[in-house]
Amino acid sequence: MTTFSYPYTLHDLLCLRQFNEIHGALHAEACDKEIVEWAERQVMKGNDSEALLILASLNLDKHPNSDEVRMYLDRYLRESGLALPGAKISTLIWLKLQLWNIIQCEDAKEAETALYDFAIAYLDFPPPFFTRTCRYFNWLYYRLYDDLGGEYQTLASEMSDSALLSYIKSHTTPFYRVLSDNEWLDFLTSE
């Protein structure tokens, strides 16, 4: 199990929300929980926005109500004069966060589960880099784990868990580095 928590910024969370609203969510409830946890941290830092305080209080529920999270976050954005990010940057930030989750995996089974999202979902959205990268990770999943119904041994079955995890991380890290660089993000959103 991953023991690290991604240090979400408001921009990251807004990108996740935007991605989920435009393209459909794979893990929307996790996004809502991260938003209310972010709001809680902001209140503890001294931000006295009423909308933010209400948003933070939603963290008292085990699973925050998505409609309430959306309503109070929208109110906070209006108060602050902020807007939701564009669709292209949102897809790239979503991808960056998925790759970060893969890199943080501590065992091969967890990494397989994270890669599986690329195998089950057809992720074909602009910008082109997003689609190409998602197709690459779809290919990687099937290259490692598809045995064609028991016809042959998979590459993953021929590797030790530590070698497999290292292999997955070594194929993920270059993409994550690109998506972590603001100049690259600017370039990729202009494609």
Domain boundaries, the chain: 10-80, 87-189
For residue 81, give the 3-state DSSP assignment.
Answer: coil
pLDDT higher than threshold 70 for residue 41: yes
Model pTM score? 0.86
pLDDT digits (tens, 9 = 90+) for 52-99: 999 999 988 888 888 999 999 999 999 999 999 999 999 999 999 999
Query: Which comes out higher in pLDDT, residue 38 or 120?
Result: 38
Residues 127-144, mean pLDDT to the nearest whole number: 93
Query: Which comes out higher in pLDDT, residue 32 or 148?
Result: 32
Residue ranges in the chain assigned as alpha helix (H): 10-23, 28-44, 50-57, 66-80, 87-103, 108-120, 128-145, 161-179, 182-189
Q: Which tokens is 154 given?
A: 């998979």
Predicted confidence band at 25 (pLDDT cuts at 50, 70, 90)?
A: low
Predicted confidence band at 162 (pLDDT cuts at 50, 70, 90)?
A: very high
pLDDT higher than threshold 70 for residue 128: yes
DSSP-derived letter for residue 157 is G
Tell me, what's the pLDDT at 147?
Answer: 74
Rounded CA separation 44/28 (Å): 25
pLDDT higher than threshold 50 for residue 177: yes
63-98 per-residue burial string, b: 16 or more CB within 10 A, e: under 16: ebebebbeebbebbeeeeeeeebebbbbbbbbbbbb
DSSP-derived letter for residue 107 is S
pLDDT higher than threshold 60 for residue 3: no
To the nearest whole number, what is the mean pLDDT of the chain? 89
pLDDT higher than threshold 50 for residue 1: no
